[in-house]
Amino acid sequence: MVDVTLSVEDIQLIQWIQAAQDKGITLEEWLIHSANSNSDNKDKQIESPSTEIGILSGLAERAWDRRAKAGDSLAQREMGNRDFLRLDSIRGEPVIGSNIGRLENELLPSGLLRLLPMKHALRLLWSLTSETKRSLPDGALRNAMNQMLRLNGQKLAEEDNQFGRGRGERLAAGFSHLDDSARSRAVNWMIGSPGGSTKLSAMEIIGWSTKDSEGYRLTPHGLDLAKLPNPILDRDLPHEGPFSPLERTLILDSIHHRLPMEWNIMRTLIDGMRGGAVGNERLDARMKRKFGEGTTFNWTNSILQLRRVAAVTRMSELGLVIRRRDGRKTLSELSEDAINIIEFTESGPE
């Protein structure tokens, strides 16, 4: 509603309010409608005092300005939320960088336990670079990522509660929506630390984004994944899990073809579950024989455990592994179609 302290005679303001009420609209909407009608069709008379057209026009401009500022403020507050990231909300094509080749010895950050936030990040980068047709500067992406994680984490947490998801099943995990420091760490894992670090980020390691002198842009592989419909973002089906079968296939292909070390860890753990559900101790022992002290990798026990936790958590998110509690122990077992999915991925073209 327009501020009633505007410099307009009280009787005129009352007349305009009455005219707006007769139309069943707000005063602001009536002022805008009246100004537009006077401008577009001078033959049509609007229910306003003809001697006050100048005042009316000025009020309409102020109303438009208020609405524009409110709209800009709302858009800024909601940038990166679920509606912003939907396929039908994104217009145009982003700028694209080159695909990154195979990285023999790279691993995803052990602290990045979930891949769903990365799917959201792909949509965010696509949307923002489709508007500018340029790489997105570091500061702009970092701020947008922080807000995106917070807004979508809040939404997913509500749905986790609605569907009764327990520990290890909650889709909000990884978005760090309640902790500013944890959210900043998640952003650093996904797109790299600020300050021009030469260390590759998770988005670069997995081959979904790249950086140039101006900032960040998607790779062709990243855009392929960004364009696939997601059950949460696009279909409002959060109860179906974080990824569609097609998304899962593309993610596994990315890991298999680009990150042989990461795939080796996954394979080691999967092979250890072929006989049925196993506890963490068994999986750690298998990891130690393959990657522990005295081997070529010579990883410490703490690194082995971090890598096991990260790989099992991501495989659970991708529907390959089922985790459940057995008293005080956590058991992990393969899903019904896990072996078929893995073998299908490995049979694809190199």
Q: State how far the Cα of 310 lies from the Cα of 298, in Å rounded to an integer.
A: 18
pLDDT in tens, 81-137: 999 999 999 988 999 999 888 999 999 999 999 999 999 999 999 999 998 899 999
The pLDDT of residue 157 is above 80: yes
Residues with Cβ < 8 Å from 137, sequence gap 6 or more?
214, 215
Domain boundary among 78, 97, 112: 78
Q: Is residue 83 part of a domain?
A: yes
229 and 276 in a single domain? The answer is no
The count of domains in the chain is 3
CB 202 within 8 A of CB 106: no
The pLDDT of residue 323 is above 60: yes
173 and 110 in a single domain? The answer is yes
Q: Which of 32-41, 231-240, 243-252 has the lowest mean pLDDT?
A: 32-41
Residue 165 lies in domain: 79-242
- Of residues 39 and 291, more confidently modeled: 291
The pLDDT of residue 2 is above 90: no
96 SS3 class? strand
Domain boundary among 242, 275, 293: 242
pTM for the model: 0.77
pLDDT averaged over every residue in the chain: 84
Q: State how far the Cα of 314 lies from the Cα of 96, in Å rounded to an integer.
A: 27
219 and 96 in a single domain? The answer is yes
Domain boundary among 26, 55, 78: 78
CATH code of the domain covering residue 289: 1.10.10.10
227 and 264 in a single domain? The answer is no
Q: What is the pLDDT of residue 70?
A: 47
Tokens of 85: 């990231």
Q: What is the pLDDT of residue 4?
A: 37
Tokens of 161: 């509660």
114 and 127 in a single domain? The answer is yes
The H-or-E segment that residue 287 falls in is helix 280-291
87 and 225 in a single domain? The answer is yes
Cα–Cα distances in Å, from 34 out to 27, 106, 212? Answer: 10, 64, 50
Tokens of 184: 């900043």
Q: State how far the Cα of 9 lies from the Cα of 49, in Å rounded to an integer.
A: 12
332 SS3 class? strand
Q: What is the pLDDT of residue 71?
A: 47
131 and 200 in a single domain? The answer is yes
pLDDT band at 241 (very low <50, low <70, confident <90, very high): confident
